[in-house]
């Protein structure tokens, strides 16, 4: 089975996730937000599955540079709009396993999710 890892190539966390996957021989396709963007339907499905709070990267520089008005009164719809406008605000990486997604990278979570397939 081939998975999809969503992110941007120069992100340190994405690099760690890619190294982890590569070292274990996990096949995956890499989707670069900077080059390929993200479609609204996919982003909305992630928000529905994981919650906008898990998908929106509020710790990143792009979010922190927003005007206070853009940061105020966040909800799922507003978060999706911000992420569509600037995909750098999407939590990185998102690993799509087909039947579910994982936001961010933690080796123990990847191991638990993929252990049976390694």
Indicate which residue of 5, 8, 11, 94 is catalytic. Answer: 11
- If DSSP codes are grouped into helix, strand and coil, which group holds residue 66? coil
Contact (CB, 8 A) for 97 and 103: no
Residues 6+ apart with CB under 8 A from 75: 52
Beta bridge partners of 35: none
What is d(CA 68, CA 88) in angstroms, rounded to the nearest whole number? 18
Identify whether 11 is a catalytic site residue: yes
Q: Where are the beta strands (DSSP E) in 19-85?
A: 28-32
Token pair of 51, please? Answer: 């919650």
By annotation, the residues acting in catalysis are: 11
């Amino acid at each position: 089975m081939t998975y999809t890892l969503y992110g941007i190539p120069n992100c340190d966390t994405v690099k760690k996730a890619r190294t982890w996957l590569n070292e274990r021989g996990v096949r995956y396709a890499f989707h670069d937000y900077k080059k390929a963007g993200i479609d609204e339907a996919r982003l909305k499905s992630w928000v529905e599955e994981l919650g906008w709070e898990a998908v929106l990267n509020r710790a990143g520089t792009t979010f922190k540079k927003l005007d206070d008005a853009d940061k105020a009164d966040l909800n799922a719809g507003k978060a999706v709009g911000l992420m569509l406008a600037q995909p750098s605000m999407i939590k990185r990486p998102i690993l799509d396993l087909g039947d579910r997604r994982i936001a961010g990278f933690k080796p123990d979570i990847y191991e638990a999710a993929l252990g049976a397939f390694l």
